[in-house]
Structure formats: C-alpha cells, structure tokens
Structure 1
Amino acid sequence: MQLITSLRYNQPFAIAFVGAGGKSTAIFTAAKQLLTAGRQVPSQKTVLLTTSTHFSAWQADQADHHLILVNEEDVRNLRKNLPSGIVLLTGKRDSNLLGGLSQRLLDDLHQLAESQQLPLLIEADGSHMHPIKAPAEHEPAIPGFSQVVVVTLGMQALGKPVGLEWVHRPEQFCKLSGLRPGQEITAEAMVKAFLSQEGGLKNIPRSARRIALLNQADTPELQGIAGRIAEMLIPAYQAAIISSLAPVSGRAQPKSNETVTGEDAIHAVVEPVCGIILAAGGSRRFGQPKQILTWRGEPLIRHVAKTALRAGLDPVIAVLGDAMKEIVPSLKDLNVRIANNERWMEGVSTSICTGLAGLREDVGGAVFLQADQPQIPSQLVKSLVEAHRTTLGPIVAPQIDGMRGNPVLFDRETFPALSGLDGDWGGRALFSHYPIQWITWHDPKVLIDIDSPEDYRKFLEAFPETEEVA
C-alpha cells in the first residue's frame, strides 16, 4: 500500500504535515507517488510543495523545480508558467534554511492550487531531525485552509530517555507527557502528548481530517506497539497510519521521474470500522421473529450484536424493519444504534442503504453481519478488520472450503455502489466489480444460517448449549 492510498487521497486538496520522525520524508514520498498514482488515486502532472516555517536547503534537491516566492506577482507568474513535476515553493534562502511563505502568499498559492485542481503539501513546523517533539508556543503554523493534517511521530523514540538527543524541546514534552527529564519514553507518554490540545492536536483547523502517522515502525515489535497506540488515538484522530518510510537524506534521493513506489512502507491503517446487522426481514414461519429465537439463553440478534462489539466495531447498527418493536428489547443495554428500514419489503438492498445512511465520514469500512448467524466468532470479524488495515482493499471476505462465507467487510470506497443497489441484491452483486481479499477460515460451521424451523433444529444440534462462541 502506498502512503497516498493510506491518506485516502482521492481528489486534490491541501495537506499540512507537522510533528517529527519522518515529516519531510512523508511529504516528498506523497509528492512522488501522486505523480505516478494508479487505480485508487488520480495521478497529477504537478504537485505543489511549500512551508509555513522553513525547509532545510538540501531538501530542495528532492524537487524537480525550486522557485522562490516573494510577492503576489511571483504567484501570478507561477500561474502563467506552471511547470510539471514536484514544484517546491519557498521564501528566500538564509544560510542553510529556505524561508517559509507569508500567510498572504500561502492563501494565494492555495487559490492557485484549487483553481488548477492541484495537490498542495505544506510543512508546518520543524523538528531538527528528532523522532519526537513538542510544539513551541508559535507552532505549528498550520494554514486554516488545510483539509488534512498529518501529525507524525517516530517510533524510534520508544524506550529512549527524554533529552535533547531524542526529543525536540524536551522540557515542553515533559509537560505534555507527564514524564521527567531522563525518564524512558513510553507508549502511554506518546499517546498523552499526541492527544494533548497543546501537543499533537494543537492548531489543527476544526474542519480538517486528523491523521496520525506512526513512522519508523521498523520491526514487528514496534509495529505491534504502534498498533496499540493507534487504537488509543481513535477517535481523536480519524485515522492512524503505521509506517516505515525510507528517510530523505540528501542527493541520493530519486527525483519524481525515477521509480518511487513506497510499497510495503505502510504496515497498517487504523480507522473506525462499523458493524451493520441486517435484521429487517420478516420470518413468520417460526411463529415469532427469527431474530429473537433463543440460543444459549439469549436472542440470536443479541449474540450477533455482542460479537460485533467484542470485535471492536464502532458504531454497531442494527437495521430493523418487520417486528421492530418485538426485537428492540433484545438489544437493551447494548451500545447498538437502531435503524428503522420502513422499506424492508423491497429487499435487502434497502437495509444496506439504511445501515450506511448517516455514517460518520471517518468510518473506513463496514462489516455486514447476518442476524441468523450468531455462531460467527468475534475473532473472524477481527481477522477481516486486520486484513483490511494492511491493504484498504474494497472487499474482504472469508473463504471456507472454497466457498464464500459471512460476514463481509466493504471498504468505504464501495459505499456509493452499495447505496445504489436495488431490490433483493446484496453486497455479493459487487464481487464481480471489485478485487476481493480472501481470508481463509477453517471452520465450516460458520457457513450455517437459519432459514427454516428445520434449520433452527439442526443449528441447535450443531451448537450445543454448553459450548461458548469466542
């Protein structure tokens, strides 16, 4: 997976990068990938890079063009003669630093980017090459027009002592994290600093998408710890990316016309994934709603909801229709949102649309669960989510003995197509239109569902009352 894919880049917008531990690397990596993007991300002929603070002078070598902007006339000339490739736009050079642009010039540059439908990437603070930092009083200088803010952190700082060698502004970092000088930097301290309004969240525009970039996760151990940190950062951040981006280090870096993929540098993308329980259909053959048939002392739908919650899905939505009033009490005291599908008789597509309606923009995918499959283990649901985090693939589904099973995870990329289904077409209608990431599962019992009283009898035989579902 590429960095631009993990950022959910699907149209030109302004992205500000702040923090430490790979900020400049991330900017140039994203810029190079935008010029050679593929199916999921539209490619660009020109990518604009700039800074509201400063760039190190040697970093100009990473761009195809470096132009100095001093006044509005320079921006007008840029508009008339816009070069292709990575275009770095800074103020004048002072010793080994390239100056940042004034707010007026940043606004003019943003207007240019919007009018030409170009990405604008902005470095909005400095870290002096440290893996972790705390912002100064005047930092970060994030432009108010930024639509995405990426806050970076280097996992190399984990376990290191708080001091000038590893931390930019260690005194301020101590205030944010609760540590004392010389103490070991812990995952908890990183989270505390990242969640502080005077730390990671400082000066981020209210409307901007917030993304944590946990870089330098170069070993499986660091990737595991970064995963736990990422879970704690949601929902303050809409997403957390775990990466090992190769550092930008002088003239050895390729320019945009050389092959740069960044593949395998992104280990995972942690985003909220919701659970949608499809439970609107009628089932009067049982003498009562199928959803509230009892198994192991509880209604079937309650088992399914508890599985979704144990798997960490958020939010969990139960789409009800027929016999809604009879089913709702089965979900009492659970953190489950009820969605009423008044058109349930028109087919399962209406339940899919009802479940997707009103989802938060930060939801990265949806797991669709069937109300008549309470035996599905939460570990299977977790496996779907974990697989999706490594690819952001459009569809992730279990495969059992060569057959497709449930539940199925659909990435937010597919939501428009799912919402366009009609009649009794379910998500399987999309399988021929998107690549599928299969997860092998070795328990054929997860294929069982309950469509008739005879199915229910066989289900109870297959799953005795004394066993537990993980």
Structure 2
Amino acid sequence: MGAADADRRAGADRRHAGGRGRQRPGAQRRPGPRPPARRRRRPRPMIALEQCATLVLAAGASRRFGADNKLLAEIEGRPMVEHILMRIAALPFAQRLAVVDDLEGPVAGIARRHGITPVLSPDAATGMGASLAAGAKALGSESAAVFVLLGDMPFVPAAIFAALAARLEDPVSIARPRTPQGPGHPVLFARRHFSALAGLEGDSGAGAVIAAHRDHLDWVDTTETGCIADFDTTAALAAWRGSV
C-alpha cells in the first residue's frame, strides 16, 4: 500500500469513528421521554404554627358594653369569646393562652373546656397593656412567636394565621392583617418582642410595640371582615343581630 492509500484509509477511519452517534444533516431527532410533571407546592410559612403561641385577651372591664360582660353575650348560640377560643383550639399551636381577670370565672371555664390555659391578669382593670404583659410573661421557650388576639372578635378566619406566619422572615418580626377599612387582628410578634410585651403597663397596648418597630412590620392584605369585626357596644351587637 502506498503512502497516499494509507492516508486515505486513516482519514476514512477517523470519519467513521467521529461519526458514531452523530445525527446526519436533515435527519429527524426522536423525542426523548418527558420528565415527570412537578407538583406545585404550597408556600410554607417561615414559622410553622406549631412554633407559635396564641394569646387571647379576655380580661378587663367592658366599659362601653354596659354592666354585662360582653364576652359572654350570645353570638350564634355561643358566648362571644368561645368562638375565637374554638378557632385556636382547632389549630396546632405550641401554646394556647387566654388572659382573664378571674381564674374561677366563666371565661376561664370556657377556656379550659377547649384546652386553653387561662392566665390571670391581676391588674386587668388598668388596661390592655397589663393583660398583654401578664400573658407575655406566661409564654414558654417552645414558642418562637405569638399571635395576639382579642376576645371580642369572634369571626377571625382560620387561614389568616398561616398567612401571617409566612411573612415572619428576617428582618420582618411583626405581621398584621390590613383590610380596606384599616389594620386588623391577630398581630403576630416574633420572640424578640416578648420582653417588650411583658413590660407593657396600664392601657398601653401592643400598638406601642408596633410603633417602635415599624421598620420590622409587614402587612397581609385581606378583605376578610372577620379581622376587624368586633363588638365594643351593645349597639354594635344589636346591629349585627339585625343583619343576620
């Protein structure tokens, strides 16, 4: 074999080896198997409800409601306060507390019936700050955050709790619902604010803590009227009863 023949043979071998697995121009590529469809996952809260406490403020005088305890006024066949207590009893919170002004009173009894621990606020008559402080001091180490709720708001929707928890990611440490009518409840506070809540006095409520940390506040916009519907007066309760 001459040198020219050897060169042609070597070139042919190289073309043959290099052509393995290559697609010829114009040839149609067969589609491969499709990857399995991925299921969309729901967004997880940054803090799980199992890491959160709930603190229901159910003490203090009903000054605008008259002589009766408004929390015991009947709504849909139950005492007003029982609605929110049942709501939190049905969710997997780390702690469930209700601040009361009498550990042997009817509100404390309703709380115990639903597995919620009543906490005494001996200075409840001085204002909401005293009740908040009493409840905050009872929070355990297992709670990374606390939902502050009002006992006279029976229609808070269950879904708002996870929505608020989803916002609690550094630097956000306070989350609150916001409706077209204004801010609502519950308000979620990260553990870093527990000491400030425990230091409240008199009628200085959670608003003082929120105002001091506005840079760490985030909102959950909602049209749920249950986040703002409360019954401060007998007229408000009568109006609601007349509308249903």
Instruction: Tell me which of 83, 90, 101 is aligned to 1:310.
Output: 90
Equivalent residue, structure 2, for 1:369: 149
CA pair 429-296 structure 1, distance change in 2 beyond 3 A: same
CA pair 403-223 structure 1, distance change in 2 beyond 3 A: closer
Render the CA deviation track for 1:78-118: whole Å, top value 9, x for unaligned: xxxxxxxxxxxxxxxxxxxxxxxxxxxxxxxxxxxxxxxxx
CA pair 402-300 structure 1, distance change in 2 beyond 3 A: closer
For residues 422-433 of structure 1, the aligned pairs below 5 Å read: 422-433=201-212
Q: TM-score, normalised by structure 1?
A: 0.40
Contact 1:278 1:318 in 2 (8 A): yes
Equivalent residue, structure 2, for 1:395: 174
Q: Cα offset for 1:347?
A: 1.4
Q: Cα offset for 1:391?
A: 4.4
Amino acid of the structure 2 residue aligned with 1:296 = E
| SS state at 2:167 partner | helix
Equivalent residue, structure 2, for 1:148: none
Q: Which has a greater percent of strand?
A: 1
Q: Cα offset for 1:430?
A: 1.8
Instruction: Tell me which of 192, 195, 199 is aligned to 1:420.
Output: 199
Cα distance between partner residues in 2 of 1:332 and 1:223: 34
Cα distance between partner residues in 2 of 1:282 and 1:343: 11
Q: Cα offset for 1:286?
A: 4.2
Q: Cα offset for 1:276?
A: 0.4
Equivalent residue, structure 1, for 2:119: 339
CA pair 354-223 structure 1, distance change in 2 beyond 3 A: same
Q: Which has a greater percent of helix?
A: 2
Matched, 1:460 2:241: yes
Contact 1:268 1:391 in 2 (8 A): no
Contact 1:282 1:322 in 2 (8 A): no
Q: Cα offset for 1:306?
A: 1.2
| SS state at 2:155 partner | coil
Equivalent residue, structure 2, for 1:281: 60
Q: Gapped runs of 5+ residues in structure 2?
A: 1-37
Amino acid of the structure 2 residue aligned with 1:282 = A
Q: Cα offset for 1:455?
A: 1.1
Cα distance between partner residues in 2 of 1:360 and 1:455: 36
Q: TM-score, normalised by structure 2?
A: 0.74
CA pair 410-323 structure 1, distance change in 2 beyond 3 A: same
Larger Rg over CA atoms: 2
Render the CA deviation track for 1:391-419: whole Å, top value 9, x for unaligned: 47221000001611111111111111112
For residues 94-133 of structure 1, the aligned pairs below 5 Å read: none
Amino acid of the structure 2 residue aligned with 1:451 = D
CA pair 297-444 structure 1, distance change in 2 beyond 3 A: closer
Cα distance between partner residues in 2 of 1:391 and 1:459: 40
Render the CA deviation track for 1:257-291: whole Å, top value 9, x for unaligned: xxxxxxxxxx8343610000001111264443111
| SS state at 2:138 partner | coil
RMSD of the TM alignment (CA)? Answer: 2.5
Q: Cα offset for 1:328?
A: 2.5
Equivalent residue, structure 1, for 2:46: 268
CA pair 461-419 structure 1, distance change in 2 beyond 3 A: same
Percent of paired sites with the same residue: 21
CA pair 299-402 structure 1, distance change in 2 beyond 3 A: closer
Number of equivalent positions: 203
Equivalent residue, structure 2, for 1:407: 186
Q: Gapped runs of 5+ residues in structure 1?
A: 1-218, 228-266, 465-470
Contact 1:373 1:450 in 2 (8 A): yes
CA pair 223-382 structure 1, distance change in 2 beyond 3 A: closer
Equivalent residue, structure 2, for 1:442: 223
